[in-house]
Amino acid sequence: MLTYDVTAASTASPVVVWRLLVDARTWPTWSPVDSLVADRSSGLDPGGQDPVGAVRAFRTGWMVTGERLTGLVENKQLTYEDAFNWAIRNYRAVVDLAPASDGGTTIHWHGTYDARWRLGWLMKRVMRRVMQQEADGLASYAATLPQQ
């Protein structure tokens, strides 16, 4: 089992960070994801509050991967697992949001997964780098939005 564990700090409140995290349509704005693939996604909320069970498909370059939301604790924690991914399997991830003393948010994104045969060395490097980019992008973009 492989793991990654990344952290980012945002000056945005947990409420603002949460709104972005739970709304799959915003991910191409703040993450390395190129686009949301609507025809491979299911159960998305038109108002941006994707529920548990929703499958969110994202295109990055030529690859489309899907994640299924498995848990939501508003403004605190989002959990998901792989719905489809050619390179990894048994993927489980947790994004914890914690209020910071300055009114901002600490984003802790961590997960476990198995890589397909012969891809372990590559996925270990790629996953940590990509997930740090996602956490940093979320932190930075949230800080540019009006705060609540």
- What is the pLDDT, as a whole number, of residue 85? 82
Number of CB atoms found within 10 A of residue 86's CB: 10
In-domain check, residue 12: yes
Residue pLDDT, tens place only, 12-46:
999 999 999 999 999 999 999 999 999 999 999 99
- What is the pLDDT, as a whole number, of residue 125? 80
Pick from 119, 55, 43, 118: nearest CA to 82: 55
Beta bridge partners of 78: 72, 95
In-domain check, residue 148: no
Number of domains in the chain: 1
In-domain check, residue 132: yes
In-domain check, residue 86: yes
What CA–CA distance (Å, rounded) separates 78 from 55?
Answer: 13
- What is the pLDDT, as a whole number, of residue 118? 74
Element (H, E) at 99: strand 88-99
Taking the chain (148 residues) in runs of 10, the rounded mean pLDDT of each run is 95 97 97 97 96 97 95 98 88 97 96 81 80 97 91
Look at the chain and count its residues: 148
In-domain check, residue 72: yes
Range 73-80 contact pairs with CB under 8 angstroms and sequence separation of 24 or more: 74/18, 75/14, 75/15, 75/18, 76/14, 76/18, 78/18, 78/21, 78/22, 80/56
In-domain check, residue 14: yes
What CA–CA distance (Å, rounded) separates 124 from 42?
Answer: 29
- What is the pLDDT, as a whole number, of residue 122? 66
Burial class (CB in 10 A: 0-12, 13-18, 19+), 3: exposed
For 89, the domain range is: 2-143
Domain holding 110: CATH number?
3.30.530.20
- What is the pLDDT, as a whole number, of residue 105? 98
- What is the pLDDT, as a whole number, of residue 121? 64
What CA–CA distance (Å, rounded) separates 134 from 130?
Answer: 6
